[in-house]
Amino acid sequence: MHRIIPVPKLKPGATRNQKCHPAKEKDMAKINLPPARLNDWKEVILKKMAEVLDKYRSVRLYLDICVKCGACADKCQFFLGTGDPKNMPVARADLLRRVYKKYFTLGGKVWGSLNEAEELSESLLADWYTYFYQCSECRRCAVFCPYGIDTAEITMAAREIMAAAGIATKYVTEVVAKVYDTGNNLGIWPAAWKDNCAFLEEDLREIEGVDIKFPVDQVGAEVLLVPPSADNFVNTNTMIGYAKMFHAAGISWTTSTYCNEGGNFGLFLNYYNLKKVNNRILEAARQLKVKKVYWGECGHAWRAGLAFTTTLSGSMDFLEIPYPVHICDLTWELIRKKAFKIDKTANDQFLVTYHDPCNVARAAGYFEPPREIIKATCNHFVEMPADTIREKTYCCGAGGGLLADEIMEIRLAGGKPRAEACRSTGANYLATICAICKANLPEVMKHHRVNCEVGGVHDLLGRALVLKG
Ligand code: SF4
Ligand code: SF4
């Protein structure tokens, strides 16, 4: 069997001390969680666990049906990168399963450890915090489980349960709190957002000699774009790609300073905040009276938008169908219609390969449009090995709320399979449609000495699109 990296030797406890910093009281208060770990944390956790088991039947099912076949054991990039056995999906899930058995099953209550049941203790809680925040909720393990057990859902449940007792990470809670303060994950205030849009306009006027707009808060625009906020400040070539395309196709569009973020870190914390963050997109669309909303290049934004908007935030039927729509769907449609001219030679310096972000690919079944855009805008494209792409894609190493500086070792180790898969192609441009991947993969490539630029799909479009002036 082909393996992009070998199965490592077991190193028990290797990543035990790689912990995310705990949440700050001020952020917890803003996102409706107890400010710090509650004194009666054990009772609160067991009560919340009962609620979760009752509400999310899939979690109970996943905890009940695992036969310990081991098929998932070597499929997680965090186990492959670290060798810590608690990063095997089955072992990660067992951290919650043992408590489930102890308090919620007859066998566990009667037979205790003989039935793999364990008391909820301080040390087990420490393992929950460590290892459920070393899982990027990528779902790769679920693809290989003969029973379809989705450890990501177990991780989501564990995080929700801990959060109820005031236990969460600084990074995730800080990001959610920033959204409520400023409208986006980066904490960019409206004036700075507008300034940056004006700066990008000026830049393009100088470089291209064309007056391309980056409209903000335009009531009555046809389209509301909800990019990851990083596109406006960090991955600006992606933002430029969107703007050039809207300009060339004659589509009126806008961003919103109330909601200039597609990303939804509620997905990595609890359903309450997932819903509240998602609601903002629909509120912004109503405020600006747009007809369409396009989600930008962000993995978990698309998963949250596609899987949870209608179920949690209500109908989008005030928009034109179809909804929700990924920006790549529009781009690919415009390319097929020949809405603008493309000069593929503008990207001839690149041998491009494509990294499927977990939340776009595995969680949303979205594989072809980004590839079609790349092939339409570049002459040189190569796929990575089949067992590392599409539904079998590896995480970049920092999804699921793991893009925290203090766990850089985990991020780099988790990104190793992707780095090796990229190396095997000889590509010098790794395209992807996720802001988290774009943030972590450059670090991963540098660390594993793979000489490859990382960028967006719309960056390639922006370079190749020929403007009339
Ligand atoms: S969901 Fe992804 S990160 Fe989590 S255990 Fe499964 S493979 Fe590992
Ligand atoms: S593959 Fe599925 S059934 Fe087998 S050990 Fe993993 S989670 Fe359990």
Of 161, 162, 166, 159, nearest in space to 135 by CA: 159
* pLDDT tens, residue by residue, 78-106: 999 999 999 999 999 999 999 999 999 99
CA 99 from chain centre, in angstroms, equals 28
pLDDT for res 115: 83
Q: Is the CB of 351 under 6 A from ligand 2?
A: no
Q: How far is the CA of 217 from the centre of ligand 2 (A)?
A: 49
Interatomic CA distance for residues 256 and 247, integer angstroms: 18
* pLDDT tens, residue by residue, 269-303: 999 999 999 999 999 999 999 999 999 999 999 99
Counting ligands in written order, which one lies closest to the CA of residue 151? 1
Of 255, 71, 232, nearest in space to 146 by CA: 71
Q: How far is the CA of 96 from the centre of ligand 1 (A)?
A: 14
Backbone angles phi, psi at 309, to 5 degrees: -65, -55
Ligand 2 nearest atom to the CA of residue 62, by list position? 7
Which residue type does 350 have? F
Which residue type does 138 have? C
CA dihedral (327, 330, 335, 340) positive or negative: negative
Q: How far is the CA of 444 from the centre of ligand 1 (A)?
A: 18
Choose one of 74, 75, 87, 90 to mutate for the ligand 2 pocket test, by most ligand atoms within 8 angstroms of C-beta.
90
Residues of the chain with pLDDT below 70 are 1-2, 469
Q: How far is the CA of 76 from the centre of ligand 2 (A)?
A: 12
Alpha helices in 209-260 (DSSP H): 230-233, 236-249
Q: Is the CB of 145 under 6 A from ligand 2?
A: yes
Q: Give the residue, by CA position, lying nearest to ligand 2 atom 6.
A: 72
Q: Is the CB of 65 under 6 A from ligand 2?
A: no
Ligand 1 nearest atom to the CA of residue 358, by list position? 2
Q: Give the residue, by CA position, lying nearest to ligand 1 atom 8.
A: 76
Q: Give the residue, by CA position, lying nearest to ligand 1 atom 2.
A: 138
Q: Is the CB of 460 under 6 A from ligand 2?
A: no
Counting ligands in written order, which one lies closest to the CA of residue 80? 1
Q: Is the CB of 145 under 6 A from ligand 1?
A: no
Structure tokens that stand for 37 in this block: 């770990």
pLDDT for res 110: 86
